[in-house]
């Protein structure tokens, strides 16, 4: 399991020397704001048009609109770093679980190769990129626990080298290449 001394993603995003691969801030906030506006619009429509007699569609719009609006009004919904899966600085590489605010630091020397070609994963999802990491059994177990992966989901490409695929690239391919360039040694 992950040690209690694990880092927190919320601490890493505040450090200027750490790069965190997260959704671009402006488009992310725009989408959240548009979803909130649509949810509040559904609530408003249900209340105004159903004023005399609330029918089933009015109740559905009211309940689901209010539920979505409440979820979007929580401060955690506005923090794009909660969707991050990877971060790095000059010395370390960080596997991230923003939803649980947990990070696992790996030495930068563990990174063997970066694969930028898009692939389809075992469950049919698009994978944005992959990293080949040289890990001990203990570090592999910690990484799998952090990312909530089963041991059979660790794809071994060489002795002690495992491929970790990331499906949340959040960037267009050209932009992703430039962001990951420091990891590739470019």
2-39 residue pLDDT tens: 443 468 988 999 999 999 888 888 888 899 999 999 99
**CA atoms of 87 and 93, how far apart (whole Å):** 6
pLDDT value at position 41? 96
**How high is the pLDDT of residue 166?**
81
What is the crossing angle of helices 56-73 and 25-49, to 10°? 150
Report the percentage of the chain scoring pLDDT > 90. Answer: 32
What does the alpha-carbon distance between residue 183 and residue 164 come to, in Å, rounded to a whole number? Answer: 14
7, β-bridge pairs: 103
| 86-139: pLDDT as tens digits | 999 989 999 998 888 899 999 999 999 888 877 766 666 667 788 889 999 999
Which residues touch 185 (CB under 8 Å, ≥6 apart)? none
Q: Nearest-CA neighbor of 169 among 40, 14, 35, 21? A: 21
Would you place residue 155 in the very low, low, confident or very high pLDDT band (cuts 50, 70, 90)? confident
Average pLDDT over residues 73-87: 85
Contact criterion met (CB below 8 Å) for 162 and 135: yes
Judged against a pLDDT cut of 80, whether residue 168 lies above it is answered with: no
Contact 71, 77 (CB under 8 A): yes
pTM, two decimals, is 0.78
Two structure tokens written together for 117: 């070609």
- Average per-residue pLDDT in the chain? 85
Spatial separation of the C-alpha atoms in residues 127 and 166, rounded to whole Å: 6
Contacts of 5 (CB under 8 A, 6+ apart): none
């Amino acid at each position: 399991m992950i040690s209690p001394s694990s880092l927190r993603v919320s601490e890493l995003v505040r450090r200027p020397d750490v790069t965190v691969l997260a959704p671009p801030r402006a488009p992310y906030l725009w989408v959240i704001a548009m979803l909130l506006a649509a949810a509040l619009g559904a609530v408003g429509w249900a209340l105004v048009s159903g004023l005399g007699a609330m029918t089933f569609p009015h109740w559905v719009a009211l309940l689901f609109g209010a539920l979505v609006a409440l979820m979007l009004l929580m401060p955690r919904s506005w923090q794009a770093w909660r969707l991050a899966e990877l971060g790095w600085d000059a010395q370390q590489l960080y596997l991230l679980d923003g939803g649980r605010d947990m990070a696992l630091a790996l030495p930068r020397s563990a990174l063997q190769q970066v694969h930028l070609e898009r692939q389809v994963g075992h469950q049919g999802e698009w994978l944005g990129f992959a990293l080949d990491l040289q890990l001990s059994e203990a570090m592999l177990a910690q990484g799998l626990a952090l990312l909530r992966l089963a041991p059979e989901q660790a794809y071994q490409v060489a002795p002690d080298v495992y491929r970790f695929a990331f499906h949340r690239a959040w960037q267009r391919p050209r932009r992703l290449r430039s962001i990951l360039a420091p990891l590739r040694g470019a």
